């Protein structure tokens, strides 16, 4: 029994638990009642592991032709190098409310509340639009990641209920990945693999899924 315990201890040292309690955590809470979903939360750990939750809200659908999940709750895995860059920006900027929101008269984009906590302290701020280019870019990036996760949920619905609808949805996916509206395709790798392998899906859709999977490895 003691020998088994020693083996388990050694394994845990080599493969530490993902998102260990007490480790650094980055969290973003987004809200915009005019969008679908109206609010979502993304929690990220330095190793790229994370958790995402979204509530649809009561706003009219922005894309009538797309299936919209009522609620999305799932664990996600992002690229670790990408995640480390996010953490570096937050640590360097030491987020605070007086440094984030520009108070400029710009179109409402949604409130983004970014919070960091870790052994080195805590920081955070909430903004619609930031005059600090790095912080604004951080907010845009996190929104793009969340949009990717939501797109994955739509693909799952279509694969189950309307496989032909995947044609238009994957076309949109290709365009949005190309212009940066969607980032971290690795977060939806599982559903893309299922789309690529499904013989009941259009060939061109499977090819797009294959291309997107190749991009998710970069």
Report pLDDT for 19: 52
SS3 184: coil
Show the beta-strand stretches assigned E in 22-96: 25-31, 39-44, 49-55, 71-77
pLDDT band at 12 (very low <50, low <70, confident <90, very high): very low
SS3 115: strand
Say yes or no to pLDDT of 90 above 60: yes
CB atoms within 10 A of CB 190: 15
Query: Quick one: what percent of the chain has pLDDT higher than 90?
Result: 68
Average pLDDT over residues 145-172: 96
SS3 39: strand
191 Cβ contact partners less than 8 Å away, ≥ 6 residues apart:
152, 155, 156, 159
User: Helices (H), strands (E): how many in the chain?
Assistant: 7, 6
Report pLDDT for 59: 62
Burial of 14 (0-12, 13-18, 19+ CB in 10 A): exposed
Report pLDDT for 102: 87
Average pLDDT over residues 147-170: 95
| pTM for this entry | 0.86
Q: What are phi and psi of 125, to 5 degrees?
A: -165, 165
Domain ranges of the chain: 22-216
Pairing of β 25-31 and β 111-118: antiparallel
pLDDT per position as a tens digit, 57-82: 776 665 555 667 778 999 999 999 99
In contact, 170 and 158? CB cutoff 8 Å: no
């Amino acid at each position: 029994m003691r020998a088994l315990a020693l083996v388990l201890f050694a394994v845990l040292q080599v493969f530490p638990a993902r998102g260990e309690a007490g480790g650094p955590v980055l969290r973003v809470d987004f809200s915009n009642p005019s969008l679908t979903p109206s609010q979502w939360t993304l929690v990220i750990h330095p190793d790229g592991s994370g958790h995402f939750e979204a509530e649809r809200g009561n706003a009219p659908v922005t894309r009538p032709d797309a299936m919209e999940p009522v609620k999305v709750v799932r664990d996600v895995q992002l690229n670790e190098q990408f995640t480390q860059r996010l953490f570096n920006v937050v640590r360097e900027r030491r987020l605070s409310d007086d440094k984030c929101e520009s108070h400029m008269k710009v179109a409402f984009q949604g409130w983004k509340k970014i919070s960091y906590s870790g052994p080195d302290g805590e920081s955070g701020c909430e903004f619609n639009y930031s005059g600090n280019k790095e912080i604004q870019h951080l907010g845009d990036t996190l929104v793009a990641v969340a949009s990717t996760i939501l797109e994955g949920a739509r693909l799952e619905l279509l694969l189950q209920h309307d496989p032909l609808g995947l044609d238009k949805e994957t076309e949109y996916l290709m365009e949005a990945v190309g212009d940066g509206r969607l980032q971290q395709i690795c977060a939806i790798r599982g559903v893309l693999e299922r789309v690529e392998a499904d013989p009941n899906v259009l060939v061109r859709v499977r090819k797009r899924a294959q291309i997107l999977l190749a991009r998710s490895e970069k």
